[in-house]
Amino acid sequence: MSGERLLTIDSLSVTFGGLNALNNLNFHVDEGEIVSVIGPNGAGKTTFFNMISGMVTPTAGDIVFRGESLLGYDPNQVTARGIARTFQNVRLFANMTILENVMVAQHCRTKQGIFGALFNTPGFRREEEDIREHAEKVLGFFGTRLIGYRLHQPASVLSYANRRRLEIARAMATKPTIILLDEPVAGMNPKESEELTGLIGKLRSEWGFTIVMIEHDMNVVRDVSDRVVVLDHGETIAQGSFEEVSTDPEVIEAYLGRPVEGAS
């Protein structure tokens, strides 16, 4: 299943004031993998994503993507290199239409500037056409929900589940190698999350994306992950297949707490 090593994270730490949000974290993703990152609230999962996507600078350690260190890159440079993300608290461009949300995400894959726009050059028109085509293709991945008359509606009219879908579409539109999904099924009902689980599998099989996903819904984690990494207090406490991790005593302790001494 897995190919070459894509992303290697080497003893990564970050401190906010006196708090160690991440502590000496090691992590890697191979091409074509689906890796889930789980852990209790406050374990540092979103900080971990923010660090990969360049929104937070680590205090120590290194992030290497395809042999190149990502440290010191701005978020847009990281995205341009092929790592896209979604946000835990859906952050769409609410007043832009659904189509525009996805079109704008192709910014770093296109290059027409002021000149082309002003003189409506053939190159400009061709590129606009391509952007639009790709946008509709990406939106079509989610069935009929985000296309048709919806294309020209503002993102703010969408239901919660559809906003999550649009966020994924927006990440797909940046033509990434790795997609970081931050709680993709949060707030969805069981049927919707089951459907999205299938789609996450297709993101790999049909589109060839490698996926790193933060998720609290263990059904989803079990169904799609090749590998599960458990974080607690900014450290990796376990990793392996879902079965291995779910029976690990340290993981159970992190989620459920330690039994009281001598209470057995």
- In the region spanning residues 183 to 202, those forming contacts with another protein, defined by CB under 8 A, are 188-189, 191-192, 194-195, 198-199
Note whether 126 binds another protein by CB under 8 A: no
- Helix/strand/coil (H, E, C) string of the chain? CCCCEEEEEEEEEEEECCEEEEEEEEEEEECCCEEEEECCCCCCHHHHHHHHCCCCCCCEEEEEECCEECCCCCHHHHHHCCEEECCCCCCCCCCCEHHHHHHHCCHHHCCCCHHHHHHCCHHHHHHHHHHHHHHHHHHHCCCCCCCHHHHHCEHHHCCHHHHHHHHHHHHHHCCCCEEEEECCCCCCCHHHHHHHHHHHHHHHHCCCCEEEEECCCHHHHHHHCCEEEEEECCEEEEEECHHHHHCCHHHHHHHHCCCCCCCC
Q: Which range binds another protein by CB under 8 A, 8-16, 153-161, 210-218, 241-249? A: 153-161
The tokens 């609290």 sit on which residue? 216
Closest CB 229 distance from another protein, rounded Å = 22
Give 3 or 187: the residue with its C-beta nearer to another protein. 187
Among 64, 71, 96, 151, binds another protein (CB under 8 A): 96
Give 41 or 89: the residue with its C-beta nearer to another protein. 89
Total chain residues near another protein (CB under 8 A): 59
163 neighbors 92 (Cβ within 8 angstroms): yes
Among 17, 18, 67, 113, binds another protein (CB under 8 A): 113
Among 41, 144, 205, 264, binds another protein (CB under 8 A): 144
- In the region spanning residues 38 to 67, those forming contacts with another protein, defined by CB under 8 A, are 53, 55
Note whether 142 binds another protein by CB under 8 A: yes
Give 107 or 216: the residue with its C-beta nearer to another protein. 107
Note whether 94 binds another protein by CB under 8 A: yes
Among 46, 47, 174, 246, binds another protein (CB under 8 A): 174
Give 121 or 241: the residue with its C-beta nearer to another protein. 121
Closest to 35 measured CA to CA, from 170, 171, 236, 187:
236
Give me the torsion for CA of 254, 192, 102, 48, rounded to 10°.
Answer: 0
Give 66 or 107: the residue with its C-beta nearer to another protein. 107
**Applying CB under 8 A, which residues contact another protein?**
53, 55, 74-76, 79-80, 84-85, 87, 91, 93-96, 100, 103-105, 107-110, 112-114, 116-118, 120, 124, 127-128, 131, 141-145, 149, 153-154, 156-162, 170, 174, 188-189, 191-192, 194-195, 198-199
